[in-house]
Amino acid sequence: MLQALLSADAALFHFINTSLGNPVFDAVLPLCRERLFWAPLYLFLVAFFLLNFGKKGRMIVLFTCLAVGMADFTSSTLIKKNVRRIRPCNDPEMVVQERVSCGGGYSFPSSHAANHFAVAVLVAGLLGGARRWIRPAALTWAGTIAFSQVYVGVHYPVDVTCGALLGIAIGWGALKIFLRIFPNGLE
Residue 154, in any domain of the structure: yes
DSSP label of 74: I
Q: How many domains does the chain have?
A: 1
pLDDT of residue 60: 94
The reply to whether 27 falls in a domain is no
- Whether residue 102 is contained in a domain is answered as no
Tell me the average pLDDT across 35-55. 92
- Asked if pLDDT for residue 99 goes beyond 80, the answer is yes
What span, in angstroms and rounded, lies between the C-alpha atoms of 19 and 175?
A: 38
Reported as a pLDDT band with limits 50, 70 and 90, residue 18 is very high
The reply to whether 66 falls in a domain is: yes
pTM of full prediction above 0.75: yes
Q: Does residue 18 sit within a domain? A: no
**Are 154 and 100 within 8 A, CB to CB?**
yes
Examine residue 44 and state whether it is found in any structural domain, yes or no.
no
Of 15-19, 31-35, 90-94, give the range with the top mean pLDDT: 15-19
CB-CB contact of 128 with 61 (8 Å): no
Q: Which residues form the domain of 113? A: 52-91+109-187
Domain presence at residue 138: yes
Q: Average pLDDT for residues 130-140, to the nearest whole number?
A: 87
**With 80 as the cut, is the pLDDT of residue 156 above it?**
yes
Residue 149 placed within a domain: yes
Q: Assign 39 to helix, strand or coil.
A: helix
Under a CB-based contact definition with an 8 Å cutoff, are residues 153 and 100 in contact? yes
Instruction: For residue 19, give the DSSP letter.
Output: I
pLDDT value, residue 130? 67
pLDDT digits (tens, 9 = 90+) for 50-70: 999 999 999 999 999 999 999
Q: Quick one: pLDDT at residue 63?
A: 96
- Please give the pLDDT value at position 186: 77
d(CA 101, CA 79): 23
